[in-house]
Amino acid sequence: MLKLILLLIFMTFINPSNSDNLSGFVKCNGTFPIEISHWTWSPDPIISNHSLEIEIGGTSTVTIEEGANYVSMIILNDQLLAIIVQDFCKGWVEPSGSHCPVSPGKFYYKRNTFAQPFELNNVAQQFELNNVTVTQFVRVTIVNPDGYILTCIEGDVERIYT
């Protein structure tokens, strides 16, 4: 009996955590030189017209060059709502106290931004955009200036329209 109790205690401490460091996102199909291992945002769900903090971290086997872009595609009901393109160095790396080019290795960046509301265009008729929560599909990539996709993750994001 004592052996069973000791085994259970041991298993409790060595059992890997089930926490989701990617907030439900998964790696896109394909092979990429950057592996994202940390992707979170706060608040969750995102509230339009409010501040938003986003964190990204991982490991790169290549240099992230000056002029690389962070690209977000936001889709709702199979319709593209927005493509957001940001200078990765100016929007993520520099505010975190680093600079580009970013050498291969581990990285972690935090960004504070504003959750812009999206015009839902053709989709607008389906929603009363007042205190409604919608689930949007988001694909995030980091792309070097030569167009080489360094990483890609995708998943669902809940957004509250106020």
Tens digits of per-residue pLDDT, 50-86? 899 999 999 999 999 999 999 999 998 888 888 999 9
Q: Where are the domains of the chain?
A: 18-161
- Calculate mean pLDDT across residues 104-130: 72
Rounded Cα distance, 37 and 44, in Å: 18
Dihedrals phi, psi of 96, to nearest 5 degrees: -90, 5
Q: What is the pLDDT of residue 15?
A: 38
Question: In sequence order, which residues have a C-beta less than 8 Å from that of residue 37 and are 6 or more positions away?
Answer: 21, 22, 57, 58, 59
Global pTM reads: 0.79
Report the pLDDT value the prediction gives residue 146, as an integer from 0 to 100. 95
Q: Tell me: domain 18-161, CATH 3.90.1530.10, correct?
A: no
Structure tokens at 112: 């504070």
Pairing label, strands 149-161, 132-143: antiparallel
> Cβ of 146: how many Cβ atoms within 10 Å?
8
Interval 6-56: pLDDT, tens: 434 444 444 334 346 888 999 999 999 999 999 999 988 988 888 999 999
